[in-house]
Amino acid sequence: MSKMVTIYGGSGFVGRYITRRMANEGWRVRVAVRRPNEAMFVKPYGVVGQVEPVLCNIRDDASVAAAMHGVDAVVNCVGVLNELGKNEFDAVQAEGAERVARLAAQQGVARMVHISAIGADAESDSTYSRTKAAGEACVLEHMPNAVILRPSVIFGTEDQFFNRFATMTRFGPLLPLVGAETRFQPVYVDDVAQAAVQGVLGQATAGIYELGGPETKSFRALMQQMLDVIHRRRIIVGLPFWVGKIMAGVLDIVKFVSFQLFPNHILTKDQLKNLRRDNVVSEDARTFADLGIEPTALESVLPEYLWKFRPSGQYDDIQNSAKNLKI
């Protein structure tokens, strides 16, 4: 009988790529999510019955335990960029990670892979980064042979990084950035998934890996590269952090007074703290090189999904070529 893995958050941005790869490896896959009906798109990743969404709330012991019953490995992809309702950083990224690891140890699950983030630091002034570090510590406490992956900002078709800023270019000639000189090392989502699969298959040595792409660029340079891809001219305006602090404060207040009816998906105070630090792989970290993976370059992927933000969409290149025709 084929082996089985439970992927918590297996229909999310990173999780769906891990799900597809594990199905291709011949494993049965349980995709543990809060809304299984919205995760049905993962079923065709495998043959009939191979990939199944199941109901699970990572804040609840019983549902987490039920989702991993009888499996050979677990992968935890659950995380939040913004706190909303009961999905607070501590509840999801620290307590949730601890719950998965503790129950996996109790059930005798052989392997665990945990998706964290570069910048995870128990001493950080950012709640996001502190809870990421707390989650890692809990995973290693209960599952000392776990593989922990810390990616930099992740890009891919469904990302909330380039897609978000490309959308902003439709509404005016300016592209404002807070932390314009902060450096990032964008990593392709399927490369992260490949690393996770190695962890599940036992092909990666236990421990922490920091995953970054082949290029390190400033926030400003990444946005200029995006503008080049979508064929738009915009003035990139680097805003000082004190302006960002005011913006984040106002947006957080609106979220609070509206009882979260208007969540802050633009810039929070916690995100502002992280923007003050470079998001790149540490010099002494284990990386893709230790996994034998060659990371994918931005330029080879961005045009595949950002074309829709071009002035004429998929026809933009054709129209530009037509302008050069001689009548």
> What are the pLDDT digits (tens) for 10-66?
999 999 999 999 999 999 999 999 999 999 999 999 999 999 999 999 999 999 999
pLDDT of 323 strictly over 80: no
Looking at 89-98, 191-200, 230-239, 311-320, which range is the least confident one? Answer: 311-320
Q: What is the pLDDT of residue 325?
A: 63
Question: Quick one: pLDDT at residue 156?
Answer: 98
Q: From CA 114, how far away is CA 147, in angstroms rounded?
A: 6
Only one residue has tokens 């001493």, namely 123
Name the token pair of 9.
């958050």
Say if 94 falls within a structural domain. Answer: yes
Q: Give the lowest-confidence range in 114-128, 275-289, 308-322.
A: 308-322
237 pLDDT more than 80: yes
* Rounded percentage of the chain residues whose pLDDT exceeds 70: 97
Alpha-carbon separation of residue 16 from 2, 10, 64, 78 (angstroms): 20, 5, 19, 12
* Domain annotation covers residue 70: yes
* 160: in domain: no
98 within domain boundaries: yes
Task: State how many domains the chain has.
Answer: 1
Q: What is the CATH number of the domain that holds 81?
A: 3.40.50.720
Q: What is the pLDDT of residue 230?
A: 97
Predicted confidence (pLDDT) at residue 305 exceeds the cutoff of 80: yes
- Domain annotation covers residue 76: yes
Whole-prediction pTM value?
A: 0.95
Q: Judge whether 10 lies within some domain.
A: yes
Q: Are 192 and 211 in contact (CB under 8 A)?
A: yes
Task: Classify the C-alpha dihedral 280-143-196-18 as positive or negative.
Answer: negative
241 domain-assigned: no
The predicted pLDDT at position 313 comes to 85
List the domain range (segments joined by +) for residue 130: 4-155+186-214+279-295
Share of the chain above pLDDT 90, in %: 89
Q: What is the mean pLDDT of the chain?
A: 95
246 Cβ contact list (under 8 Å, min separation 6): none
Q: Which of helix, strand or coil describes residue 84?
A: strand
Residue 1 pLDDT: 61
More confident residue, 316 or 103: 103
**Is residue 16 included in any domain, yes or no?**
yes
Residue 326 pLDDT > 60:
no
